[in-house]
């Protein structure tokens, strides 16, 4: 039986399909163009506002807050992914702050949606990669004075150092005063509240070392009271960052 609604509906569906077929590529092409034009490179006017931005590096668009970039230094061939916040000092135009507060080395990758907030010193070595939504800060809020909102209480800043060749998994948080060594794996969702040694694997909140590299026999061995994983032998050839 003929349905009078069938033909109009089919026409609408055809029109919609045609619109998607024509407009979809145009929208995607435009967005890629916007991202390309909005990205910050070392030779752009925005790039020259940084304390330094190395050759081949890029701050991808769209980015989040970028504050007091004159105190932010980024090495060569480093990618700052989209929606990342880079912040130095307490507010825009903060006077009298150090000219080297946030320092990111060469060949780093800062994952999408991450934030690096420095008031005193955040130093990230070479070849450090992070997952998405990683938060690194050298300051935190206090809570001791119950007559004041926590939002207006601040603990003393403490420098953060992340060693070369390390990897921080998705949603990792690195808190003030922490030193993460070289070639360290920090598992996804970890909260780093204390130092982590070179050549180690740490997980949890707070992060605890579960495996360390033993140079004597070139193996990674389980570490800590809850470690049960057997040692594994490293390949003969290791990255130069080890």
Q: How big, in percent rounded to 5, are the helix, strand and coil portions of the chain?
A: 15, 25, 55
Catalytic residue list contains 226 = no
Q: For 213-216, which contacts have Cβ atoms below 8 Å and span 24 or more sequence positions?
A: 213/183
Burial degree of 210 (CB within 10 A; 0-12, 13-18, 19+): buried
Selecting among 141, 170, 183, 226, the annotated active-site residue is 141
Polymer length of the chain: 242
Burial degree of 212 (CB within 10 A; 0-12, 13-18, 19+): buried
Residue 201 · residue 187 · CB < 8 Å: yes
- What values do phi and psi take at 233, rounded to 5? -85, 135
Query: Would you state the structure tokens that stand for residue 90, as one six-digit string?
Result: 């307490």
Secondary structure of residue 40 in the 3-state scheme: strand
Strand partners, 137: 117
Residue 11 · residue 33 · CB < 8 Å: no
Residues recognised as catalytic: 141
């Amino acid at each position: 039986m003929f349905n009078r609604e069938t033909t109009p509906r089919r026409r609408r569906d055809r029109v919609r399909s045609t619109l998607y077929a024509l407009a979809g590529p145009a929208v995607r092409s435009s967005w890629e163009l916007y991202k390309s034009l909005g990205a910050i490179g070392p030779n752009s006017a925005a790039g020259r506002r940084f304390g330094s931005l190395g050759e081949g590096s890029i701050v991808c668009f769209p980015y989040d807050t970028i504050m007091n970039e004159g105190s932010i230094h980024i090495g060569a061939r480093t990618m700052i992914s989209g929606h990342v916040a880079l912040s130095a000092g307490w507010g825009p135009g903060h006077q009298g702050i150090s000219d080297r507060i946030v320092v990111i080395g060469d060949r780093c990758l800062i994952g999408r949606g991450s934030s690096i907030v420095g008031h005193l010193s955040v130093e990230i070595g070479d070849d450090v990669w992070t997952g998405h939504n990683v938060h690194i800060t050298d300051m935190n809020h206090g809570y001791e004075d119950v007559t004041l909102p926590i939002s207006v209480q601040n603990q003393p800043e403490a420098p953060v150092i992340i060693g070369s060749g390390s990897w921080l998994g998705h949603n990792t948080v690195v808190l003030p005063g922490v030193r993460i060594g070289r070639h360290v794996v920090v598992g996804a969702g970890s909260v780093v509240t204390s130092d982590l040694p070179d050549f180690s694997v740490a997980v949890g909140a707070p992060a605890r070392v579960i495996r360390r590299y033993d140079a004597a026999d070139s193996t990674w061995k389980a570490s800590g009271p809850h470690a049960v994983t057997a040692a594994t032998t490293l390949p003969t050839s290791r990255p130069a960052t080890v």
